[in-house]
Structure 1
Amino acid sequence: MGMNRTGIQMSPLDSRAMQEVEPAIVSSDGVDERALAELRSDYIANADALGSVPLPGTLTGAVTVGVSMLKGDSPQILLDKLGERLAFERTGTRLYDALITKCDIMLTEDMSMTIDDLEQIRADEARHFLMVADAIESLGGDPTSQTPSADLVGVESMGLVQVLNDPRTTIAQSLHAIVTAELSDKAGWETLVALADEHGLAEMVDSFTQALNEEREHLALTQTWYEEAIGLTYGDVEIDDAASLLQAPE
């Protein structure tokens, strides 16, 4: 609790004046937002796409993608989602770098989370990044290019990066952002497993399923640590056993 003066209850006279809106700017149904909606509609109707999946930069890549498309597959969708995962795993690695730095200063013995736990998860994220880069190259793609979905998750994750790197945020607040990232990461790997299976890429299905199980483990751990940090409960999830909590049935 502190001297938070952001709410209107802190100044009854001023809050009353703020709510006395001039009739000229209010329609019979409330504030008229039709003009703003029309402006947005015009931008939407005339906007370019967020980006495109790049053409393969090598002859081998072009042949690989071309053969796949002739077979009726959609390799551009898989490559786009691989680019998305690549971008997010890179960001995930940086999120854990930031959390480790914060915990070096702020972590107490009241939590079951340790720096070693965080470093292991950070290593998993970095390994997943390299795995996805290899997968993109095996399909003839360029892992250094930014696909539309990679662009999208880059924008989505900007807030998470800001939270973790803000020196004012607590460990609990940082873990809230980490749990948000892990939820998204789990969903992303589930999509990749399904896409790889649809394209008959058995080796990718196996490696992506392993990554998915590790992300489920990360999610179970970070949720436990977050609950500890806000005093909701005190968990004893071990890093080697957490995957069983969210393991999907065979």
Structure 2
Amino acid sequence: MKQQPEMGMNRTGVQMSPIDTTSMQSAHPTLVTPVPPGDESALAEMRSRYINEADGLGSVPVPGTIHGAITTGVSMLTGNKPQLLLDKLGERLAFERTGTRLYDALITKFTALQDDSTSMTLADLQKIRDDEVRHFRMMASAIETIGGDPTSQTPCADVVGVESQGLMQVLTDPRTTMAQSLHAILVAEMTDNVGWEQLIALVEDQGQMSLITDFSVALDEERAHLQQVQRWYEEATFGRSISDGAVVDDVSDMNTSAPLH
């Protein structure tokens, strides 16, 4: 079973080779006009050109059904922005899909390590994983309800897919400990909570009141997930829970009513 990190021959720091470090930090004598340290103006200029020439990150697809076209048209006539709502629904769909995969990976790691450093159980993890699947299906149904296509990838869905790659890499790296894996899950759960809060506010703003109840239930479940994961992470890292739900309180007090390929 993986334990806490140990002291060892970590050679990544400059203190491991002070002579070579001094030489590296000194300007080479053959350089007549050495580049000032930390000057990244040329890189910034190149990035600026790409930014100004780039197209947007995809688009929200036009409705592919008569029902979708009518629903979207009526929404636009009443002053709403259905494309924004569809984009954000697609974002949550993608995030819940990724959440399912993150917990699949955590279940595999928990089973392989037989880790007993936390109060977490396999049944706990399976329940949260099943909640994520249910939220994913709920989101797909919501997108269809307002005339969208849940199989399309919207711009925001694309963004969260890229954002989540690093979290997945942590979970699937065989070298990471349970504490390190739970830290990645904690990042995902905090983001998930804010995302649901913002989505509920947007849905309410656009008058899609039929979606509020199910989304509010999902938010309550995600808050419970966050509280559990925070406790497990602290147990795995410090040997006990030290915050008494402080992260959950911070998220819920923000008052922001916020991929399975």
- What is the RMSD of the two structures over their aligned residues, measured on CA atoms? 2.4
For 1:163 and 1:178, locate their aligned partners in 2 and report how far apart those are by CA, in whole Å: 9
Once the two structures are superposed, residues 160-193 of structure 1 have per-residue CA deviations (whole angstroms, 9 ceiling, x without a partner) of 1111111111110100000000011011101110
Once the two structures are superposed, residues 45-90 of structure 1 have per-residue CA deviations (whole angstroms, 9 ceiling, x without a partner) of 1110001000011011011101100110001100000000000100
- What is the one-letter code of the residue matched to 2:86? L
46, 59, 74: which one pairs with 1:67? 74
For 2:215 and 2:206, locate their aligned partners in 1 and report how far apart those are by CA, in whole Å: 13
> What is the number of equivalent residue pairs in this alignment?
245
For 1:173 and 1:25, locate their aligned partners in 2 and report how far apart those are by CA, in whole Å: 45
Q: 1:2 to 1:74 in 2, by over 3 A?
A: same
How far apart are residue 6 of structure 1 and its match?
0.9
- The 8 Å contact of residues 25 and 31 in structure 1, kept in 2 or not, is answered as no
Establish whether residue 205 from structure 1 lines up as the match of residue 212 from structure 2.
yes
Q: TM-score, normalised by structure 2?
A: 0.87
Alignment of 1:83-102 (within 5 A): 83-102=90-109
For 1:9 and 1:165, locate their aligned partners in 2 and report how far apart those are by CA, in whole Å: 31
Once the two structures are superposed, residues 92-147 of structure 1 have per-residue CA deviations (whole angstroms, 9 ceiling, x without a partner) of 00000000010002133332110100000000000000000000000100000000
For 1:117 and 1:82, locate their aligned partners in 2 and report how far apart those are by CA, in whole Å: 27
For 1:155 and 1:110, locate their aligned partners in 2 and report how far apart those are by CA, in whole Å: 31
The aligned residue for residue 14 of structure 1 is 20
204, 214, 218: which one pairs with 2:221? 214
For 1:114 and 1:179, locate their aligned partners in 2 and report how far apart those are by CA, in whole Å: 17
49, 54, 57: which one pairs with 1:47? 54
Unaligned runs of 5+ in 2: 1-6, 256-261
- What is the one-letter code of the residue matched to 2:24? M
Q: 1:100 to 1:86 in 2, by over 3 A?
A: same
For 1:247 and 1:8, locate their aligned partners in 2 and report how far apart those are by CA, in whole Å: 42
Q: Which one is further off, 129-138 or 107-116?
A: 107-116
- What is the one-letter code of the residue matched to 1:189? W
The aligned residue for residue 131 of structure 1 is 138
Q: TM-score, normalised by structure 1?
A: 0.91
Q: Which runs of 4+ in 1 moved over 4 A?
A: 243-248
Report percent identity of matched pairs. Answer: 60
Q: Which one is further off, 103-112 or 53-62?
A: 103-112
Once the two structures are superposed, residues 23-53 of structure 1 have per-residue CA deviations (whole angstroms, 9 ceiling, x without a partner) of 55645x6343222221111111111000100
Q: Which one is further off, 197-206 or 66-75?
A: 197-206
How far apart are residue 3 of structure 1 and its match?
1.5
Unaligned runs of 5+ in 1: 238-242
For 1:49 and 1:88, locate their aligned partners in 2 and report how far apart those are by CA, in whole Å: 21
- What is the one-letter code of the residue matched to 1:93? T
For 1:24 and 1:222, locate their aligned partners in 2 and report how far apart those are by CA, in whole Å: 56
For 1:180 and 1:130, locate their aligned partners in 2 and report how far apart those are by CA, in whole Å: 22
- The 8 Å contact of residues 105 and 171 in structure 2, kept in 1 or not, is answered as yes
The aligned residue for residue 157 of structure 2 is 150
